[in-house]
């Protein structure tokens, strides 16, 4: 079983701050996905990273896949209240990390 | 394009009963996977169906079962409900099977067992 560990588990910040959340594993992944889940809804795919060292940007969100394809990070610049949610990373065969619950206060 | 539809949205059952949840995938998607989400355990994989065949299975007891129909719609059944089965049950569809295809989730069925 490929275990994914996400950190931190909880994060509460003020609007305008920057933050980084992490997704780590001892296993190598062929690809890794990031999802965001808002209360009362299912997770929504943000990005898929495939190549080691790959960096993808989605507006204020920057995703990086580690060179060894064992870890990934999500950096949010100038966080906004609309970024509030549960951020989940997922590896192959539907294995998810426990998530980082982000709260951005106005 | 219509998204993934799960019914019912909310369900209250008592211990010992059984329940059936339904999931309609995005048109053209042949893979449907099911997940249990609880505050303590996070999002846990139950099983995946592709073209009516169960392809992968998570670590859940045999009380949890599923099936997929020829139109790709899927149902999940939980028999002899226990209090610990209270959770949000999510289904997701994807174009391909396996684990690397992006998942499109429904909004879930919230099951409460009393």
Q: What's phi and psi for B5, nearest 5 deg?
A: -115, 125
Rounded Cα distance, B32 and B50, in Å: 7
Judged by CB atoms closer than 8 Å, whether chains meet at A42 and B99 is answered as no
> Which residues are registered as beta bridge partners of B50?
B31, B53
Contact residues on chain B for A31, CB-CB shorter than 8 A: 100
Judged by CB atoms closer than 8 Å, whether chains meet at B92 and A42 is answered as yes
Q: From first to last of its 114 residues, what are the pLDDT tens digits of chain B?
A: 679 999 999 999 999 999 999 999 999 999 999 999 998 888 999 999 999 999 989 999 999 999 999 999 999 999 999 999 999 999 999 987 756 788 999 999 999 999
Mutate to test the interface with B, among A1, A42, A86 (most CBs of B within 10 A): A42
What is the pLDDT averaged over residues A85-92?
Answer: 92
- The dihedral formed by the CA atoms of A34, B42, A29 and A42, expressed in degrees to the nearest 10: -40
Nearest to B56 among A30, A90, A93 (CB): A93
pLDDT for A29 beyond 90: no
Judged by CB atoms closer than 8 Å, whether chains meet at B42 and A44 is answered as no
Pairing of the two strands A10-14 and A100-105 = parallel
The CB density around residue B89, as the number of other CB atoms within 10 Å, is 23
Judged by CB atoms closer than 8 Å, whether chains meet at B103 and A45 is answered as yes
Instruction: For residue B1, give the nearest of B74, B110, B95, B64 by alpha carbon.
Output: B95
């Amino acid at each position: 079983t490929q275990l994914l560990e996400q950190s931190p588990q909880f994060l509460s910040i003020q609007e305008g701050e920057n933050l980084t959340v992490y997704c780590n594993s001892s296993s190598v992944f062929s690809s890794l996905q990031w999802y965001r889940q808002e209360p009362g809804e299912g997770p929504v795919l943000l990005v898929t990273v495939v190549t080691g060292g790959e960096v993808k940007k989605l507006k204020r969100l920057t995703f990086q896949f580690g060179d060894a394809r064992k870890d990934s990070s999500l950096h949010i610049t100038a966080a906004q209240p609309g970024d509030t949610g549960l951020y989940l990373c997922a590896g192959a065969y539907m294995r998810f990390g426990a998530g980082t619950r982000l709260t951005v206060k106005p | 394009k219509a998204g993934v539809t799960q019914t019912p949205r909310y369900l209250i059952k008592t211990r010992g009963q059984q329940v059936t949840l339904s999931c309609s995938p995005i048109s053209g998607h042949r893979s449907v996977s099911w997940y249990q989400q609880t505050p303590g355990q996070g999002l846990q994989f139950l099983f995946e169906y592709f073209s009516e065949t169960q392809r992968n299975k998570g670590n859940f007891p045999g009380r949890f079962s599923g099936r997929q129909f020829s139109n790709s719609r899927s149902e999940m059944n939980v028999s002899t409900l226990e209090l610990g089965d209270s959770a949000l049950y999510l289904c997701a569809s994807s174009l391909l099977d396996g684990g690397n295809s992006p998942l499109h989730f429904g909004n879930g069925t919230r099951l409460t067992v009393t």
